[in-house]
Every structure is written in C-alpha cells, then in structure tokens.
Structure 1
C-alpha cells in the first residue's frame, strides 16, 4: 500500500536557499504540501516567478501543492543608523523620533516607521526591539519624540521590528501596500492569503472583500500575533478559513511564559470551529545552520502535532538556511513519530450538536461509522473541499481522500490534516457510476486493495458546492470493483 501515513501537513517558506536549481523539486519530493511566499521580501515580479516555478515543480513531481501569500502587514520598524548599527548600554537615554525626515540613527536616537507611535505610548510602557532582544522603557512623550531608557545592554542594527509589551498599538492590519499585494496574490492564483497582525474580524472581512473583488478564491489566513487578536480570538477564527499561530511577534507582545498555553488554546478553538490551523515560527530554528534539530525543537514540533495542528511551518530554515531539504525531512520524521502517539478514539460527546448543514452531518456520521465499523479509508467526492475539511476535524486512523475536479480545491485540501487531495471529474456520470469509477481509480493507483472496506461520501448533485448528502459503506471487490455494503 502507498497510502501516505503522515497526516500533519508541512509548509515551507521560499527564499534564496530554495532558488538554486533542483532545490524546489527536492523540497516537494521530501514532503512539502504548501509553500509560503513572504511578501515582506522581494518585489511582485519575483514572487510571481516563484509561484510559476512552484506550479511547474508540482507537475513534475506529481503532487498537489498549495501556495500561501503572506502579506507584510503594518510591521513597525526603526529606521536606519548612520553606521549600520550601534551598541546600547543599560541606563542610556535613547529616543525614538516619529518623523518622516528623521536623521540617520545614532547611539542616542533613531527614527521609526510608524508616525502615530507617540499617540499609542505613555510613560512606563516597555517597547521591545528586535524580537525582544532590546528593551526600552518610555519615560516621556514630547511631541514627535519618545524619550526612553535602555533596559539591557545590546547591539541594535537597521530596520529592526518594534513591539509594545502587552499590545495596544492602534494601527490597522491592512496597509495600502497590503491592499495592492492582495491583487498580486490574485494574479498569481494564490490558494491562501495570510493577513498579518489582524486585530478583529473586520480586518479579515476587508481582506476577503478585496481578494474576491480581484477574482481570487483564496482561503483567508488570520495570523494571530497581537494581544488584541487574543482578546477577539473567537470572532477572528469565525471570519477566517485558516488560523496561524504566529509565535514570533505574539511571544514578544504577551511574553514567553504565556505563549505555550495560548498556542494550545488557539489550536483548540480553531478545531472546535472547524477551521484549519497552522503552527509557525522557529519550529526548527537551529537548522538554519545545523543539519539536525535540537531535542527541544523536536519536542516543540511534536507537541504541536499532538495538540492537533493541521500543519507546521518552516520560515528561515527553508528560505535562507543551509539545509532546507534536511529541515523538511526532519519535520516529516517528527510528525510521523508524534502521530503514533495519537489517541484515535473520538469523543463524540464533545462533537457539535444541532448541525444545520447536511455535509457536516454526513462527515460526523462517516467518522462515527469509521470508528465503530473499521475502514481502510474515507473517500469524499467534493466540489469545494468543505466535506474533506469537516472530516479532517476528527482524529481517525483512516486517511481521507478528497476527490475534486477543481485544482484550487485540491490545493486547499493539501493543507488539511489527514486529507489526500486527488483529481477526479464526476461530470456526466450518474452518482453510482461516479462512485464505481472513483473506487477503480483509487485501486489502480494502489491506494486501496481488494477486500478493504471504505466509506464514500457524495451528493445527489455532484457539481454543486455543499451538496454532500449521501454516505455509503463499500468494499473493494475483485479488480477494484466497488461492492455495496450499505447506504445512508
């Protein structure tokens, strides 16, 4: 049998390290399911070229691979220093100047990119630079100048990020540049668009409206990385298709001690609301320079998998690291090892009640039947991938084959835990003929064997979204012939 055993999906960020000949093909062959284009770096033309390279590589290796475009968002940064970097000492005065024409930085002051910063801070606030490596305490706000005192020794260089401890910055999630880049994502046919630093559901709604107006059907990804997002977590998840636990800036704002518990909460809440969830940032950070991960990194990835994350993501490890392919291979090993610790018995007492949609009810019935009857696989014939997503919310030992004629739906299913997307066109076929043909295709591709039982979900009107209303219990007969055992 060649049914993929790995249920957790892998994202890899593209960058200079993946541009070398052969590296992209090797990444996809090693197990990358979705690639991330970081729009904070590079121009639109280079990102479009990378997207085209991904599509071509996916065809060569014969895999469904999604593309995620990550918007820069309103990242607050300090400006540049006259000499590139400075050494700061504890107790020194160091001013932040919120003026567009601020002079190049010195050991006593530096300009900031967010000109509204003086209105968002007050004496006593702590500002964190360079992912928290440098800490400044605000002593006074004097017009455009924020007077701070350095809290720790350290080196500070150009364009480092700035956060306010505890959150509270008022700038919105989407910048004018983001709004233009959403149109670029639509042009390159992105499967996912990630909104950085979202605060409320309204941020996600705006991004979705811009994407749809540009002709994009991309799934919208909310990156949870601000304190305000935690306060509005439920509404943001409901307004999203996918949720990303963006642990870098989130950890800086809320503090390291709170991050593990919040990661588990975000994963739990996302799964409860039937959303796909990604865990990201420094999963294997040491592999930027090392060919093997640390034991702490192995445990970190494994814990995210055991918590139920759909996917884990590489950032600098693949984009700029020395060992991008080895990093993917390490994630594959860790995910497989962690998945062996799953308790596959679903507690249906905690399952949602009073379902309004037939496809959700069919998905729940399929998982219940899977656990109590025992099947080799679940096959979902789907237009949009919605049924496959509902099925993937349950932990089952049986993989889910998501069959769709739509390339975009298949690539979005590539991010869903335990779902194997496959191309299948049911147009022109009666429902029973389509079922027989699909089972035959799975048999011929060595996905199923004679005598194995499976659950098959489909709709009476198979070319309509959300039309799944039928569940069949089947057995693979001689030569791949589908033999009916029952229908609901």
Structure 2
C-alpha cells in the first residue's frame, strides 16, 4: 500500500478494537481509525465468515483512505464449555440449593433443579469438592458427586443463571481441545478474510499453535498467531507457557476466563508476569477484557479504568484491547479516544522511556546486536529524534520495540505483510518505503527526506538509521548510523 499520506502518531501503545454491530459500517470504521485504532478484531464467536470478509474489505478500504496501516485480527471462538438452555431462559438459584448438570437433559429442558450440558467430558473431569464457576464466576457450585452422565452440586454463590452460560473450574483443568470443528471451518474461511493475525482461544500447549499454523498454511496463509492465555494450568506450568510463547508471534492476556479460573486477586500478578515474559522472549503482548467496560453505556471511563489501561502500559504491553466497548457499545469513538489518552498519559512517565533490559546478557545475532545498540544509543543521545529501520522481515524493529524508549521506531519496508505485522509492535510506525527504487548510495538520504516530508523530522534533528549491507535480504541488518537531518 503506497500512499503520499502518512500517519502522525506519537502514541506508542497500540489499540485493538473489536468490530460488531455498533462499529462495522464504513463511516464508523473510518472514525475509529481516526480516533486511534491500530488493529481491528473480528470475533468469530459471532457472525458468519461472509460477514467477516465484508467487514475486512471495509477495514482495508478505510485504511487506504486514511493513509495508514491497520491490522486485522481474526479471533477464533475456541472450546467455550457451556450449559444448555432453560425452559424460561433463566432460573434463580439460592445458596444451599441442589443443582444438577445432566447430559441427559436436552435443549429447553433446564429448570431450577438442573440443566443440560454441551461438554460430554465434564462428568469425568470433575470430582467431589471441586468448585464450578458459571457465568464468569457469578454463580458457584460445589461438586457433591459425579457419575458417567450427571454432576450433582450444591449452590455456593447464587443468583440468576441464564441459558448458554459458560462453565469453568476453579484452578482450571476442563481441557477441551483448543481447536473445535467450528474453529477449523473458520480457518478454512479465512482465505476470504486474509487476516494479519489469528488469535487461538484456550491454548493448552504449543501443539495447538503448530496445528493452527499448519491449517493456515494449507490455504497459503501466514498470519501472525496470537495465543490467548486463558487456562490456569498453562500459567501454572512454566515449561508449557514458554513453549506456547515461543511458538507464537505473541500472546493475549485474556483476563476474562483466566481471571475466573485463577481468581481476580491473582490475576494482576499474572498479567505483569505474562507481559514481562513475552517481551523477554521477543514476542508481542495484548492486554484484554473489560478495560473500559463502563463505556458500553457511559461516555466517560471511570478513574479505575483509566488506571487499568495505564498500568498495562507501564508494564510494557504492546497493545490494549476493547471488546464489547466498541462492538456493541454506545460510544465506540469516545472509548477509543479515552483509551488513547490513558495510554499517552502513562507513556509520559519516565519509567516507560528508559530500560536496562538485556544490558547484562550476550547478543546472539547481528540483528539483535544492532537493534539493542540502536535503542541504547538513541536513548542516550539527545539530538536523536527517532530510529529509521530499513527492514524486510520486520524482526529488527520488533526487537527494538522490546526495549523501553520514548522515541518512535520507523519501520520502513516495501513488504506489505511486514508492515501489517508491525501494527501490533509497541512504538513502531510502519511506513511504506521502497529502498530498491534508489541507488545504494542514495538510500540513506532518501529515507531521511521521506521522513522529513512526512512531518516526522525537522532540519537540524538527528536520526539513527539501521539497515543491511545487502539491501532486500531478510535477516541481514548489520549497519547502524547516526545521520543529520539537513
């Protein structure tokens, strides 16, 4: 996508916004891009593949009009374990009530004594004393007995329970396969959507990521795969977690189901650990779920929500995500602006601009050496106003973005897929620049001229530039220069 219009961006943290009935029109997508959305999420728990393909086409059209790169994230539904339906859509449960989860009950047969299930392995997955969490933990049941087809429970925390609500077990362990039949069918349909990223729900091992990648590659698709961390047993096992992170482009701290399984009191520490671990392993990280939930119905966030976004930014998250706020909320544009303001406020703090990360370890490749040296030099030389990274694969700007800095990283590439992937990297501004169009000795000056014309640099600034001796070859970055802007 070549365009003479370039984005003027000073916010480093990226914003992911979920598309839904409240935001799927051309006009609203354009407004959301203008407000600060970097990546749009298509939630495959809702809608058809044809609908998602139409929305994806609108996003691409509006991103071209806006003159900036905007990513598309296809979020697979995964194996959400749910109860069946009630005769009257819901029941009221009181503490101490007996309640049965029964495989023999069909659709519409549930009442205040019990309800059916869509997960046949539940009965063999629980034992007396387990706590089952229904409707995101709003209802809690203690397992009294489990047979081949029935789980008898006592209500520990009551309230209104509606049809089709999800079930988790406190501490995790209800491990249905990550890819369902629906997910596999949805992957087949992605040839029409051609997303830049695919999120896999309820990942339990790196094999889930590898399976997803194989299914995508059968359709000649190679999007970045984001592993949604939602299972308590995954965060409890360092080897499993590290394997998942290594196999993925990045992870999503999916705080809904994860918070239900581990408990909200434990979630904040886990969030910080996941962000830190992902960055240390050179992976991107998205923080998600209920970040500005009150703005579904209100035009302003609560102070606690602003603090929640800011806390994730201070921890180093690459992106923060909006779900229902933009999908079905009444104030989609306002919530994006509020999130952008919260992120900018946090980024003004000194802790987000300096980093001692990696200063005590050896580098393993020329790319990593150049990337880390560039950020260190830029952070310690006042005249430098940014880093221009000529890149083929996008790996060098990704590595740079793992270190804290207040300076923009300009990812300059002629590869569309690389530029789209950089939409998620903190602090990286993806810009189309075809170095092959110029003589080798002209490239540096042309890159500076390009950034100056785009309003990113001014005369008498300095720019730090990285590139490879052999232009056009992926993985060849081995040159670093500090150049004046004339």
Q: TM-score higher than 0.5 here?
A: yes
Structure 2, unmatched stretches of 5+, are: 1-5
Q: 1:222 to 1:381 in 2, by over 3 A?
A: same
Which residue of the other structure, out of 294, 299, 306, is the alignment partner of 2:302?
294
Which residue of the other structure, out of 86, 97, 101, is the alignment partner of 1:96?
101
Q: Is the 8 A contact 1:182 1:193 kept in 2?
A: no
The answer for the alignment partner of 2:3 in structure 1 is none
Q: Is the 8 A contact 1:98 1:117 kept in 2?
A: no
Deviation at 1:407, TM superposition (A): 1.7
Q: Is the 8 A contact 1:402 1:413 kept in 2?
A: yes
Deviation at 1:300, TM superposition (A): 0.7
Q: 1:2 to 1:236 in 2, by over 3 A?
A: closer
Q: 1:224 to 1:344 in 2, by over 3 A?
A: closer
Deviation at 1:218, TM superposition (A): 0.5
1:24 pairs with 2:33: no
Aligned length in residues: 477
- Which moved further from structure 2: 461-470 or 417-426? 461-470
Q: Is the 8 A contact 2:175 2:204 kept in 1?
A: no
Task: String of CA shifts for 1:396-421, please: whole Å, max 9, x gaps.
Answer: 12110001112221111111111111
- Show the 5 A alignment for 1:143-162: 143-162=148-167
Q: Which whole-Å CA distance do the structure 2 matches of 1:4 and 1:20 have between them?
A: 24
- Show the 5 A alignment for 1:396-407: 396-407=405-416
**TM-score, with structure 1 as normaliser:** 0.95
**TM-score, with structure 2 as normaliser:** 0.95
Q: Which whole-Å CA distance do the structure 2 matches of 1:44 and 1:94 have between them?
A: 38
Q: Which whole-Å CA distance do the structure 1 matches of 2:84 and 2:60 have between them?
A: 37
Which residue of the other structure, out of 306, 314, 319, is the alignment partner of 1:311?
319
Q: Is the 8 A contact 1:185 1:193 kept in 2?
A: no
The answer for the alignment partner of 2:203 in structure 1 is 198
The answer for the alignment partner of 2:292 in structure 1 is 284
Q: Is the 8 A contact 2:26 2:62 kept in 1?
A: no
The answer for the alignment partner of 2:232 in structure 1 is 227
Q: 1:98 to 1:431 in 2, by over 3 A?
A: farther
Q: What is the CA RMSD across the aligned residues, in angstroms?
A: 1.7
Deviation at 1:254, TM superposition (A): 0.4
The answer for the alignment partner of 1:459 in structure 2 is 468
Q: Which whole-Å CA distance do the structure 1 matches of 2:440 and 2:286 have between them?
A: 35
1:362 pairs with 2:370: yes
Q: 1:349 to 1:184 in 2, by over 3 A?
A: closer
Deviation at 1:345, TM superposition (A): 5.8
SS at match of 2:22: helix
Structure 1, unmatched stretches of 5+, are: 478-488
Q: Is the 8 A contact 1:13 1:314 kept in 2?
A: yes
- Show the 5 A alignment for 1:74-223: 74-99=79-104, 101=106, 104-223=109-228
- Which moved further from structure 2: 177-186 or 10-19? 177-186
- Which moved further from structure 2: 458-467 or 220-229? 458-467
Q: Which whole-Å CA distance do the structure 2 matches of 1:262 and 1:345 have between them?
A: 23
Q: Which whole-Å CA distance do the structure 1 matches of 2:350 and 2:15 have between them?
A: 18
Deviation at 1:68, TM superposition (A): 0.3
Q: Is the 8 A contact 1:366 1:471 kept in 2?
A: yes
